[in-house]
Chains A and B, each alone.
Chain A
């Protein structure tokens, strides 16, 4: 799968309360959640994000509450994939489980900036920053985490009789 889009760049320790504040958690409708995604730190995000854009962040992305509403809101907003230095573990699981591509890139995530144009080749395991001309290698997902991702998420995986 090849993903290509403009980058929305955020910093370290972006928590799930910022991704989708609890005041909107009285629904789990993806579109309603997407309308408020990131609004407490970036009021322009929900209105301007385009289908296929890519989110890039620093360390510990998605820390805090286990609300799956956070990756759901990001996915429904049109974001095709999240690249971060590192992810908080529950967020990581949740993203894999709902079939949202997620890439732990380590320190190199710093080398992708806001507004950059980025191409992600998930099969070949390569991220190209077309704005800077740099390329980064993606570590392949291990064992059945890859199987879950390839099934398009955990529910498909379980329905396929794999668990």
Chain B
């Protein structure tokens, strides 16, 4: 029977010849992930089960949300995760100093490979679909059970096929593509569904673009987002993944519930206005919107390619005197590379601050909290009410080039305005 990429991966994981949308299945898991917020409740629930971990090499624990610890309570949570990791011999525990934002880090260190099935107690676990894996977010109790059993249940999602064609113009990146799609289908447009990207346009996207796009499948309500495996993917995996993996391809006659066409060459830089990621507008159609803060980083746009774009823009101007700009490399490796390439110097000379990897401001955790009435342009993925601070603050989501241009102009601006 013809199957989508997601269906094929799930069928293999469940040990079945085929699966169909709506079917409830149990799958073995290749990796399970938790962080310093979702880990502690999972650890508590895990203790109630009274079994050892299913495989200490297939659990990843990344304290990234409130670390380096922002206060005593968060220090206790990080400690609980650290002690659990030591007690159970968890191989992939990442301490501060080697830690990065989980969804930037795990692909970077080779913990994700095509065809694998991954759950994480973090909604943006869907990021790993960029590498042709099935990956989705769950809660702490699901994670606790998975740490004990090495499996979980899924309802097989129906698929939405997103056909990409053309090449994106300069200054249009993964963020603009996924925001455009969410603007088209809405924040529940892919609810319980799989977003499968396809078409010749995929070849024009860097791995960073794909990771950004898959990352925000959840902002359309999707269970997962997934890309076909091509030369770009295989090149990325070189030197990262040594273990054998299976490249799964969708059947030509696979059945999708819906098909969407996007001509990449027709896109322009966009922002999502408060307070939903679906409120998407082209930057060049906006009235003057003055801003107080810019954040460049997160699991959505904290990769070296993102910082490269930002550095290119900041080379043409400094941060506006009214604006605070915060730049957060996604991992230590990204930080190091940005330093070697001179980006960090560019940022600091432009008047931005550069932080150690952390989720920090993305979830309104710490380091860059907004006061009442303040506005931020952020390369993160959520602009819900109160997400980055006071309930009366506003978050505008954008890609790194727009964010950098906005920091320079003191209002939402496109990179062309700065580089013109």
Residues of A within 8 A of B (CB): 13, 15, 17-18, 21-23, 25-28, 40-41, 59-60, 63-69, 71-72, 86, 88-90, 93-94, 97-98, 142-145, 153-155, 158-159, 163
Contact = CB atoms under 8 A, between A and B. Distances in A.
Contacts of A71: 139
Contacts of A67: 37-38, 139
Interface stretch (B10-18, B43-51, B399-407): B43-51
Interface string B109-151: 0000000000001110100000000000111111011001101
A65 B364 contact: no
6 nearest CB pairs, A to B: A94-B139, A26-B73, A68-B139, A97-B141, A60-B188, A66-B123
Nearest to A99: B141
15 contacts: A13-B276, A17-B385, A18-B386, A22-B37, A23-B365, A60-B188, A64-B382, A65-B382, A66-B121, A67-B38, A68-B41, A72-B41, A90-B123, A90-B139, A98-B141
A129 B121 CA distance: 36
Which of A18, A27, A67 has most chain B Cβ within 10 Å?
A: A67
A153 B50 CA distance: 16
Contacts of A143: 24
Contact of A93 (B65, B73, B138): B138
Given A88-B221, A97-B142, A65 B191 contact: no
Interface in B75-125: 77, 121-123, 125
Contact of B141 (A89, A94, A142): A94
B101 to A, nearest CB: 14
A28 to B, nearest CB: 5
B335 interface: no
A142 B382 CA distance: 32
B40 interface: yes
B37 A25 contact: yes
Given A22-B363, A155-B145, A158-B149, A90 B137 contact: yes
B221 A155 contact: no
A159 B138 contact: no
Interface string B228-267: 0000000000000000000000000000000000000000
B384 interface: yes
Nearest to A142: B24
The contact size tier of chain B is 35 or more
Contacts of B161: none
A66 B74 contact: no
A65 B276 CA distance: 13
A18 B40 CA distance: 21
Which of B141, B145, B276, B365 has most chain A Cβ within 10 Å?
A: B141
A144 B26 CA distance: 10
Given A21-B386, A40-B386, A66-B123, A90 B138 contact: yes
Given A64-B382, A66-B123, 19 more contacts: A13-B187, A17-B382, A17-B385, A22-B37, A25-B365, A28-B44, A28-B77, A40-B385, A65-B382, A66-B122, A86-B191, A88-B221, A90-B138, A93-B142, A97-B141, A143-B24, A154-B144, A155-B48, A163-B145
A41 B144 CA distance: 31
Interface in B273-299: 276
A157 to B, nearest CB: 8
A27 B70 CA distance: 13
Contacts of B50: 159
B197 interface: no
A41 B275 CA distance: 13
Contact of B49 (A23, A27, A90, A155): A155
Contacts of A163: 26, 145, 149, 151, 153
A13 B386 contact: no
Interface in B373-418: 382, 384-387, 391
B171 interface: no
A41 B385 contact: yes
B144 A22 contact: no
A21 B370 CA distance: 14
A160 B256 CA distance: 37
Nearest to A90: B137
A72 B50 CA distance: 22
Given A21-B364, A68-B140, A158 B145 contact: yes
A138 B218 CA distance: 27
B280 to A, nearest CB: 15
A145 B386 contact: no
Contact of A154 (B44, B122, B137, B141): B141
Contacts of B151: 163
B66 A26 contact: yes
A65 to B, nearest CB: 5
A144 B221 contact: no
Contact of A64 (B65, B73, B123, B365): B123
A56 B50 CA distance: 36
Contact of B40 (A28, A72, A145): A28
A32 to B, nearest CB: 10
